[in-house]
Chain A
Amino acid sequence: MANLNLLQAINQALDIAMAADERVLCFGEDVGGFGGVFRATSHLQEKYGKARCFNTPLVEQGIIGFANGLAAQGSTPVAEIQFADYIFPAFDQIVNESAKFRYRSGDLFNVGGLTIRTPYGGGIAGGLYHSQSPEAYFAHTPGLKVVVPRNPHQAKGLLLAAIRDPNPVLFFEPKRLYRASTGEVPESDYQLPLGEAEVIKEGSDITLLAWGAQMEVIEEAAELAEKEGISCEVVDLRSILPWDVETVANSVLKTGRLLISHEAPLTGGFAGEIAATIQERCFLYLESPISRVTGLDTPFPLTLEKEYLPDRLKVFEAIKASVAY
């Protein structure tokens, strides 16, 4: 065990994956000698050489097109998109190519080796284009897996699983927590399951559901609520696609209430999908309407970032409203 921050945990996962399998390659803008703008790929080029860890030209559609080809060839590319806000030039390669490669060929070919890492989320004064949470766009694309870790231990285990999963995985890294989140991380090579949510605190009055950096927020809100005598069950969805309906539904069957929180805008956000499924599964057990605490339906702001974000106080108020409904 070592105390690592989230970036160090990711770096360690990449290091382990590259050491264990020479087909694993890491590349993207500034990923090579510099080690990435956040330094997630630090020292990998020194250790594994320029052929396996390298800079690419500044062209996201090219990075993912190149990665799709490599994965189809049998390599295990781990491509970095410098910010999730800049993933959209690669949208066609991801949704029309990565996601459909196996299906359209009848499993003659696949890009299962592909992992796309990208930092997402606000809280770092990044304004419109260094703050977005685009997970819902990709959740609408069968064939992709979408994963978001909440802390260093989770990040390492989920990233190793993503790299080795036989399907293309989009791995959204909460950049606000890159250095802010620290914790004990085993030095060993371990994997955490994709597609499985985790109940991180049991409770009886309401289920609080989130993923990634938003976990910290709902945990703080749960503490505030506990002081008011409200028992919260806190669940980390971990995988947005495919998502773990069973764990969420079982929790809601027990508590009778559900609150979902994400930074992305409300309309079309993934909370809507969860709410629709859970009301279908748990209709007669619900004590109150499913609550969503999210970003506003605006582009991501700068100066008023704090006002925009679904912080612990907004979640706390929504918990009380749900319980008092």
Chain B
Amino acid sequence: MTTTTSSLVHSPAFLKGDEFSIDTFALLKQDGSLFEGAAPPDLDRDKALRIYHAMVFTRVLDERMLAAQRQGRLSFYMQCTGEEAAVIGSAAALDDEDMIMAQYREQGALAYRGFSCDEFMNQMFGNERDYGKGRQMPIHYGSAKLNYMTISSPLATQIPQATGYAYGQKLAGDGHCTITYFGEGAASEGDFHAALNMATVHKVPVIFFCRNNGYAISTPAVEQFAADGVAPRAFGYKMRVIRVDGNDVLAVYQATMEARRLAVEHNQPVLIEAMTYRLAAHSSSDDPSGYRSKKEEEAWREKDPILRLRRWLESCDWWSDEEEKALQERLRREVLETMKAAQKRPAPPLDSLVTDVYDTPTPQLNEQLAKLEAHIRLYPEAYPKSASRRSAEGSAGAPGAENGQGGR
């Protein structure tokens, strides 16, 4: 049984696949004015400022934490710089109860939801207040209360998970959807194709949000795929698709609002391809000067999404130079102060090595922990993080004991 109705033809005519050209949805020009004929989305002052604050916070956090990494305070960092509109504009179009399953460069979405600077810092320093109990590298955030799934390093694994999560939401009938973020590079993984295919077959309320930022580490998009970006793949899955200027927060916001409506009201999954640019390096371990020109970067710096929104806010009389200055100062101070405090906090307790592997540690794990504790007592100077904690507390705590940091 086939799902298409196909006419018979009698000469071998091959389709080229470029019969459709995919336009780019854009509302806002770089000078902060709207394109002719473009109407602003339904966005009030409070929400516009909430978006802007999250964008500026993300920029400030990224600048400061990269510097901290360079100073040796932090092992690793990844910036969202240049992609703040794509990430935050889309998150703002959702209900705060909708699930976000991100790749790793979407800290802006989490900031928009209300993750505090302190919470960001505790994760990055892997201290005893990190919800992830110091187990993952910096920037692998998660928050159950903010419906932000903990980040996993393997690329694209979150995409079919989002399809499954959203299927569960559909069965629960709670009116919520899931958005999953990924880069144009991750879209080459098999998991991407599995996820989109299953989403349309099973009519799942999920939004696939591709940040096409031009590079997968050093590999440019033209070496990632021969097609016109990621968007045309949607046709193969009979999925609704839109391409949007990813540096135009108003366009991203409106496109995602409409995608959410399709997902939640019609169980129609949607692919959004946001055209943007990774202004920063892939990570603190990467140096883009080896694979792209300053000139190219400068051209994109001219398209700064934060400046674009700021100009629009100013044109609405919702924002001023004084407010900008005060916000920048407040955020810089907050980032610096919370960083210093987070860095000083102790490491998670030793037993967090064996908790959460299973719901309760197995006998083997308890045995291995006991052996390790005995070893650390022999060589405390070799294991200062846990040895100092032991002497401070007298004991590393019972295996399996809740340390109270998870919090559902």
Residue of A72, A103, A143 with most partner-chain B CB within 10 A = A103
- Shortest CB distance B84–A (Å): 25
Question: Once the chains are docked, how many angstroms separate the CA of A65 from the CA of B152?
Answer: 13
A89 contacts the other chain (CB 8 A): yes
A5 contacts the other chain (CB 8 A): no
A77 contacts the other chain (CB 8 A): yes
Q: Is the CB of B356 within 8 A of A72?
A: no
1/0 per residue, CB under 8 A from A, across B179-217: the answer is: 000000000001101110110011000000000000000
Q: Is the CB of A54 within 8 A of B202?
A: yes
Question: Once the chains are docked, how many angstroms separate the CA of A302 from the CA of B149?
Answer: 45
Q: Is the CB of B171 within 8 A of A75?
A: yes
Question: Once the chains are docked, how many angstroms separate the CA of A52 from the CA of B202?
Answer: 12
Residue of A62, A72, A245 with most partner-chain B CB within 10 A = A62
Question: Once the chains are docked, how many angstroms separate the CA of A64 from the CA of B195?
Answer: 11
Question: Which residue of chain A has the shortest Cβ distance to B145 in the bound complex?
Answer: A108
Q: Is the CB of B168 within 8 A of A57?
A: no
Q: Is the CB of A167 within 8 A of B140?
A: no
Name B140-182 residues within 8 Å CB distance of A: 140, 142-144, 149-150, 152, 154, 157, 159-169, 171-172, 178
Question: Which residue of chain B has the shortest Cβ distance to A241 in the bound complex?
Answer: B362
A306 contacts the other chain (CB 8 A): no
Q: Which of B13-21, B125-133, B296-304, B375-383 contacts A (4 or more CB under 8 A)?
A: B125-133
Name B282-299 residues within 8 Å CB distance of A: none
Name B373-408 residues within 8 Å CB distance of A: 405-408
A21 contacts the other chain (CB 8 A): no
Chain A residues with CB under 8 Å of B362's CB are 195, 242
1/0 per residue, CB under 8 A from B, across A25-60: the answer is: 100000000000000000000000001101011010
Q: Is the CB of B164 within 8 A of A66?
A: yes
Q: Is the CB of A103 within 8 A of B131?
A: no
A142 contacts the other chain (CB 8 A): yes
Q: Is the CB of B194 within 8 A of A106?
A: no
Chain A residues with CB under 8 Å of B8's CB are none
B136 contacts the other chain (CB 8 A): yes
Question: Which residue of chain B has the shortest Cβ distance to A64 in the bound complex?
Answer: B160
- Shortest CB distance A251–B (Å): 17
Q: Is the CB of B130 within 8 A of A96?
A: no
Contact A69 B162, CB 8 Å, known A103-B135, A105-B132, A108-B143: yes
Q: Is the CB of B357 within 8 A of A143?
A: yes
Contact A104 B161, CB 8 Å, known A61-B190, A62-B194, A167-B359: no
- Shortest CB distance B41–A (Å): 29
- Shortest CB distance B194–A (Å): 3
Q: Is the CB of A73 within 8 A of B150?
A: no
Question: Once the chains are docked, how many angstroms separate the CA of A71 from the CA of B167?
Answer: 11
Question: Once the chains are docked, how many angstroms separate the CA of A43 from the CA of B264?
Answer: 31
Chain A residues with CB under 8 Å of B407's CB are 108
- Interface size of A as a range: 35 or more
Q: Is the CB of B195 within 8 A of A65?
A: yes
Chain B residues with CB under 8 Å of A97's CB are 152, 154, 157, 161
Chain B residues with CB under 8 Å of A104's CB are 132, 135-136, 140, 150, 152
Contact A69 B364, CB 8 Å, known A104-B132, A108-B150, A167-B359: no
Chain B residues with CB under 8 Å of A92's CB are 154, 157, 191
A115 contacts the other chain (CB 8 A): no
Q: Which of B99, B171, B405 contacts A106 (CB 8 A)?
A: B405
Q: Is the CB of B197 within 8 A of A59?
A: yes
B-binding residues in A (CB < 8 A): 25, 51-52, 54, 56-57, 59, 61-62, 64-75, 77, 89, 92-93, 96-97, 100, 102-110, 112, 142-143, 145, 166-167, 195, 242, 245-246
Q: A56-B201, A97-B152 are in contact. List 10 more A-B contacts (CB 8 A).
A: A54-B202, A62-B194, A62-B197, A73-B165, A92-B191, A104-B140, A105-B131, A105-B132, A108-B406, A143-B358
A-binding residues in B (CB < 8 A): 99, 101, 130-133, 135-136, 140, 142-144, 149-150, 152, 154, 157, 159-169, 171-172, 178, 190-191, 193-195, 197-198, 201-202, 355-359, 362-364, 405-408
Closest 10 pairs (CB-CB, A-B):
A65-B160, A69-B164, A62-B194, A73-B168, A69-B161, A105-B150, A66-B164, A69-B165, A70-B164, A242-B362
13 contacts across the A-B interface (CB closer than 8 A):
A54-B202, A65-B157, A66-B195, A68-B160, A73-B99, A89-B190, A92-B154, A102-B359, A103-B356, A104-B132, A104-B152, A108-B131, A109-B142
